[in-house]
């Protein structure tokens, strides 16, 4: 049996899943695909169109009309991939503060999630992919060859995120970070549509006592034994 060609990595915020996905994709020569960028791209499209973020029907229709592509990086500027919105490179534009302000609101709309899931599946069919998110193994790629759920306690995740912010000279407070992650966990795990949870056949890796390279080694063991 050959190597898995579709790998799903799920987990709560700040669990390290994006870093794991990026490293594993580089190891395998696969496309690294953080599905969160799609919701950012839709949010950018909504802002550009001047739509009211609260207008769920209009936002959902726009999400169904745009085409979003994720492909290997074409520019050596630190990006992990290209993000194209209707053919336009918006890889860095989707990181704007305005997008940060609205992406959480837009990403919960059912029509938006359905449109993005369809596009994520299209990209997965076109590539060998390591896809990262919160509902990849349960919703987007339930037939993925390998499913990993990367977990860690909220306290450990908060400490790691706090340390990252300090290293980037960003003002931060551990208690604020912890409170924010607890709130995000509550929303992600209890939302009606595609709640955060491990797929029944996912391999759970707890990273409380593991560095990212240790987690990568465990993931590689899973890849090469499948």
Q: Count the alpha carbons within 13 Å of 166 in the hemisphere toward its beta carbon.
A: 9
121 vs 113: CA distance, rounded Å:
12
Instruction: Give the start-to-end residue ranges of the domains of the chain.
Output: 1-30+128-226, 36-127
Q: Are strands 31-34 and 129-133 parallel, antiparallel or unpaired?
A: parallel
pLDDT tens digits in sequence order for the chain, 226 residues long: 689 999 999 999 999 999 999 999 999 999 999 999 999 999 999 999 999 999 999 999 999 999 999 999 999 999 999 999 999 999 999 999 999 899 989 998 999 999 999 999 999 999 999 999 999 999 999 999 999 999 999 999 999 999 999 999 988 899 999 999 999 899 889 888 889 999 999 999 999 999 999 999 999 999 998 5
Vertex 206 angle, CA 79 and 217, to 5°: 60
The fold for domain 36-127 equals Rossmann fold (3.40.50)
138 vs 37: CA distance, rounded Å:
19
Q: Both ends of the chain: CA-CA distance in Å? A: 7
121 vs 66: CA distance, rounded Å:
15
Closest CA to 96 of 32, 54, 48, 61: 48
| CATH topology identical between 1-30+128-226 and 36-127 | yes
Question: Quick check: 198 and 137 in contact, CB under 8 A?
Answer: yes
Closest CA to 4 of 130, 126, 138, 97: 130
- DSSP H helical ranges for the chain: 17-28, 36-49, 56-65, 97-106, 110-126, 154-167, 174-190, 212-225
Residue 68: DSSP 8-state = E
Vertex 221 angle, CA 218 and 224, to 5°: 150
Q: Are strands 31-34 and 6-10 parallel, antiparallel or unpaired?
A: unpaired
The CATH class of 1-30+128-226 is: alpha beta
pTM (whole model) above 0.85: yes
The pLDDT value given to residue 104:
86
The pLDDT value given to residue 211:
95
Query: By three-state DSSP, how is residue 137 classified?
Result: helix
């Amino acid at each position: 049996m050959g190597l898995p060609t579709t790998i799903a990595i799920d987990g709560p915020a700040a669990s390290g899943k994006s870093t794991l996905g990026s490293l594993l994709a580089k190891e395998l020569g696969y496309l690294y695909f953080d599905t969160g960028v799609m919701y950012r791209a839709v949010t950018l499209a909504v802002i550009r169109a001047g739509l009211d973020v609260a207008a769920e029907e209009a936002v959902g229709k726009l999400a169904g009309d745009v085409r979003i592509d994720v492909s290997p990086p074409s520019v050596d500027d630190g990006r992990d991939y290209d993000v194209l919105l209707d053919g336009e490179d918006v890889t860095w534009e989707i990181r704007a503060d305005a997008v940060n302000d609205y992406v959480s609101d837009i990403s919960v709309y059912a029509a938006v999630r359905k449109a993005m899931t369809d596009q994520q599946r299209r990209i997965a069919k076109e590539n060998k992919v390591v896809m990262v998110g919160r509902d990849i193994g349960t919703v987007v790629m339930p037939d993925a060859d390998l499913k990993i759920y990367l977990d860690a306690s909220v306290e450990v995740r908060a400490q790691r995120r706090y340390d990252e912010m300090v290293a980037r000279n960003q003002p931060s407070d551990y208690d604020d970070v912890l409170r924010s992650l607890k709130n995000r966990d509550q929303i992600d795990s209890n939302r009606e549509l595609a709640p955060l949870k491990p797929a029944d056949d996912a391999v759970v890796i707890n990273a409380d006592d593991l560095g990212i390279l240790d987690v990568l080694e465990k993931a590689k063991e899973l890849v090469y034994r499948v």
